[in-house]
Structure formats: C-alpha cells, structure tokens
Structure 1
C-alpha cells in the first residue's frame, strides 16, 4: 500500500512542534539567502533558500564533513571544484554532493535574471567525514514522480505514493517535493525514528492539524510519529519540501563551512585548509574560471 492510500489516521500522526520564518539576508557575492539553522534536528544542519542575480554568486569556498543537496527551483547554477568537476544544473535538477574530507568549489549563476535554489546541508557520521568527495546528479526528467487526486510528488530521495528514488544517501534520507492543487490532501508515511521538517516554497497549507495554517518561507519542525497529514484548503496551489532523516546521534561542532565532531577536529580542519593538506592539497593552486 502506498503512503498516499493510507487513511489520514496514522498510529502516531506527526504534529508541528516548532515554526519559524526564514528571513532574507545578504550572503556570498550579491546573493539573497533565507537560511534556517537545523542543528537541533539531527541529521540536518542548515537549509538555504538562495536567490542570485549575475554578477553575484558564491565564489571559491571550502567545505568538509557533510553533504549538500542543491535543488534548482528557477534558472541555473554553474559549479566547479578543485578536483576537476564542473557543470550546470537547471530548473528541477538536483546535485547531491558528498563533501567528505574536503572540497573547494564555486557556485555561480548560469544565466540572466534571478536564479533560485534550495540547498540542504546533511551531516555525515564520524566514519564518513573523511571519505573522498563524490557527486550524484539527477536531471529534472530523471526524478521519479507520482500524481494522483490533485497531488504531485517529486521523489528526490526516499519513497512516496509508491514511487522510489534511485539516489543513494549515506545517511538515510527522505526528500520530497509536493505540489497540491486547491482542496487536495496527502498523507505521507515517515519512519518513526526519523527527524522531519517541512519548508513551504509557495502557497499555504494545514500541516498535522486541519486548523493549523502555515505560509511560504516557513520551516515547520515535526514532532515524533509515523506519518504526516496535510491539506491545501486555499484557492491557490501549495508547494513544499518534506525532508526526513535518520539521526546520527553524534556531537556536532560547526565552524562556518566545516562540520566535525570535536573542536580539536575543527582546529585541525582549519590548519589543513590553510596549509593545503589532508584533502585540501589542490587548493594551493586552483582558482575557478
């Protein structure tokens, strides 16, 4: 039975426990970012909602110790890194980057006008923090989708409405993009032990309870349970991301673009980056084009 076909009553339906608005601020080079700290929501770290207009963007910068999932909502982003990876993702495409022991890369707008994307930071367990960097790319046409009764689901990771994603995630993750037509509803199973949140891209909807309404740019942290019910009672479409993941249950120490388990590891990472060693060797000579 698909998650969609289940009755609204889960054994333990999830309710919204926290709600906060992602407010815009300047970041990078001329980019406007709505950011959300998700440190308390293991295994998630951050969610960014980027709007970038040329010549702005995100010039060369380092990372270590986690994964980034970049999902283009509008336009395109061209990326390149010091290991020779480069390319452009366009509207609806996904880049899943496992940073591992270290990467230096740039992310710049690929066209005129405003380019908009979501970027989710997912923690890695201590045993995976120093693995070699890797990429998975999913073009928009290759993202599995399901549609029924006014509900469309794009299954970037995990499973929904009987459809599974081919993406491999080191930390078990669900990442779903739902669009609900007016008066539509959906009931999505979520593994009971996983953390979960919703980010509303556009419209408004009721999440967890029929009488609760949330609007665009709000993050909704979900409590424990085995599924989420939601309704679009408005006259306009509702689009949102539902993300859930298996907690890692390890200490998190973050210093800007570096995420490790201890302060000593952070200090080692800063030293490695400054001295171009232990995964950052190519940073000594590389500059993006």
Structure 2
C-alpha cells in the first residue's frame, strides 16, 4: 500500500462515538469468540466485516489431545481477507491448495481469500490459544483474484518505542516504523502498549474509518476527561486526524488501533462469502456446492484436522 502523508501533530483528535462490550459466544467447534464487528449492533464498519477475539482450549497428555476437539475445521471463504494475529499459543492452518503452517505467539497471517479458499484453523499447542481475527472487505476489482498469503513471524514484525509507548506495526506505520504488509484495501493495524502515565498521539488519514479494541488494562481515548475503558471494549472513532490515548492507571494498557479506507460499495454477505450483489452470492453458493470456479479442489480435500475429528 502506498504510504499516505500524515502529520505527526494532531490538530483535530478523533473522539469516541460508540462503545461496545464484546461478549463471549460459541463459534466453530468448541471455540469461544468475543465478536465486536459483525454482530447484531454493528454488522459492518466499512471496510471491516468482522473482528473476533478468539479463545480455544486444548489439553495434551503424552502427545495426545485429551480435551474435546476445538477450533475452526474446514470452511470456505470468498471475496475478502482474513487477518489472524496470535496473542497467546498457536494455531495450525491448512488449505486445499496444500498450504500448511503454524502461527505462533505474536505471529501474523494475512490471507486474501479472493475467488475462493477452503481451510481449517485448529489449536497447535497446550493450554489456551488466543488471538484476533479481522475480516477486511475487498473491492469488486479484487474479489475474484487468486488466493494469496502474507505471513510474518513475531520477531519480524516491526516495533518502535518512545516515551512509554510501544507499538508493533502489523500494517501501516507508527513511531517511524513501517510494516512490509501490502494491503489491497488500504489499512492501518497497530498494536500499542502504554506504560502507566504514557500519552499517545497517532495520526490517522482523514477519510479513513477507525476503531480501537482494548486487550488489557484500562485507558482513556479521544479526550483526556473521558471515562476509562477496560478490556474487550470496541470503540468506534469519529472524524479527525488521529487518536489521542492516555494510560492514567497503574498497570499496562494494551490495545489495537485499526483504520481503513472505506470502499463505499454494496455489501451482500452470506456467511463466509462476501460479494457486491445477491446474484454474485447465488453464483458463489453454486460454485462452492458444485466445486467449480475456484473451489475445484474442495471436492475431495479434507484437512488432517477434519480427518481426526471425523475419526
């Protein structure tokens, strides 16, 4: 993504216009998610389709899983991107193109589903696996491109630190650090940790939609006299040239700031398929059911995780 020129000094900080608590719900097989975008109160926040904070528990004994199977076995996607960012533990990914790997703590996978992918995401480590998965819509010109992956290990995610503020730059740039991720839908994705007493000013391109999701601690966002917000809250930000945040507590504050350029295109969604018209959705369902037009390999493919579950 070409970098957008943004000032380092905020003249019009964004305020919080809506605040949601993401409550836990069951999803997949035995997984628990806190969904903040893509739920009843907030179906879509252009260009973002969904944000899940997910948690999967697995217990191993002598090399074998003794807890109930859990995770996200074989399922399809078309027309958007999924961004998986691991906070704790590890997840193994497989798809019908033969791509397979494990995303460990702090690792990132940016998957462009494009015209079609069928994959599974299952826990790969002892204990609780936690992470964030963000769904980013694609414009009509990119919806039917070939599937692609961008993966970055934790050690290679750019980081910067200044005046008690630390950032991991997943996409975009902050505090002089830039991510190598290419975003077809221009996107900023920043993981901030503020020490007690720290103050942040982060520029955001003016036309972009932006939100904050609090992971740990409590912070003040938008205005210094605003009430503190705690973990698992999603904050939609209004217009302005950036975000101001304060940590006035005695503990660390950690949150992600995500912003993206609105597509301003029609959105028709049917579960894991996101297109521009109902006709395109109908055709996608037919393609998937008939294993054609990008889903050919779905006819006979089963992930090892799916085979184990069936067994």
Alignment of 1:169-248 (within 5 A): 169-212=183-226, 213-248=228-263
SS, match of residue 30 in structure 2: strand
Q: Which residue of 2 aligns with 1:33?
A: 33
- CA drift at 1:11: 2.3
Q: 2:179 aligns with which of 165, 169, 176?
A: 165
Aligned counterparts of 1:265 and 1:137: Cα–Cα separation in 2: 29
Q: Which runs of 5+ in 1 are unaligned?
A: none
Gaps of 5+ in 2: 59-68, 305-311
Between the aligned partners of 1:5 and 1:211, the Cα distance in structure 2 is: 24
Question: Between Structure 1 and Structure 2, how many residues are aligned?
Answer: 285
Q: 1:52 aligns with which of 42, 52, 56?
A: 56
Q: Distance in 1 between matches of 2:241 and 2:107?
A: 29
- Alpha-carbon deviation of 1:279? 0.4
Structure 2 residue 99 is matched with structure 1 residue 95 = no
Aligned to 2:63: none
Assess if the C-alpha contact under 8 Å between 1:204 and 1:215 holds in 2: yes
TM-score (norm: length of structure 2): 0.90
Question: Contact (CA 8 Å) 1:68, 1:119: kept in 2 or not?
Answer: yes
Mapped pair 1:264 → 2:268: no
Secondary structure of the residue that 1:274 maps to in structure 2? helix
Q: Would you identify which runs of 4 or more consecutive aligned residues in structure 1 move more than 4 Å? A: 3-7
Compute the RMSD of aligned alpha carbons: 1.4
- Asked if the contact 2:14–2:222 (Cα under 8 Å) also holds between the matched residues in 1, the reply is yes
Decide whether the 8 Å contact of 2:6 with 2:204 is kept in 1: no
2:155 matched to which residue of 1?
A: 141
Counting strand residues as a fraction of each chain, which structure ranks higher? 1
* Residue 39 of structure 1, CA deviation: 4.0
Q: Secondary structure at the match of 1:56?
A: coil
Matches within 5 A, 1:101-120: 101-120=115-134
In the alignment, what sits opposite 1:14? 14
TM-score by length of 1: 0.96
Task: Give me the whole-angstrom Cα distance separating, in 2, the residues matched to 1:67 and 1:131.
Answer: 11
